[in-house]
Structure 1
């Protein structure tokens, strides 16, 4: 939230909007999940995501291994906030490996929003 606020430090209306948004969600983790899954107008295409994950596993393998590790931690967590946190961190790690390619990031976001288990099923195949 602080980073978003700094980006709009001269815009009180935007800062109020960010604060109101944060207050409307049950946790900071829920807010981060909303941000990570924002992919307006994009549909999940798991076949295309698989091709991109395949490339990414060779070119930036640490982002894929980090995503696997965080996803596993989230799936084994008993606390709902921990599940939310690690799932979001897993998606963020996967997206980080494609930071040079915004369309792929949008695709990952759409798949994480619509079919997270399908997306991470693919991740674990690489």
Structure 2
């Protein structure tokens, strides 16, 4: 566990997560092997790893009839749930769409469709 989950980090954004009933601020790093949440909190575990293969689905939180997204909930195959509020949520979801199937990205009970953005 001394090594990071990802060999390559392709996207990093500011994020908050609700872990054990308290929100913690940190960075969400997305890479070739999964999602890493890193925080500088000295009193708590400083990282969380969510490998792509362990993600059962991502429930996308939308506002204004689906026109705006701010966060999402990741559910793993063992039943763990992680709530994230992120900056640049559209970029995060577009990146996740490259690693997860369309059935794993859910918005309002439907599958989510990524935006067509130029790379």
TM value normalised by structure 1:
0.33
Which of the two has higher C-alpha Rg?
Answer: 1
| Higher helix residue share | 1
Higher relative contact order (CA 8 A, sep 6+): 1
| Higher strand residue share | 2
TM value normalised by structure 2:
0.34
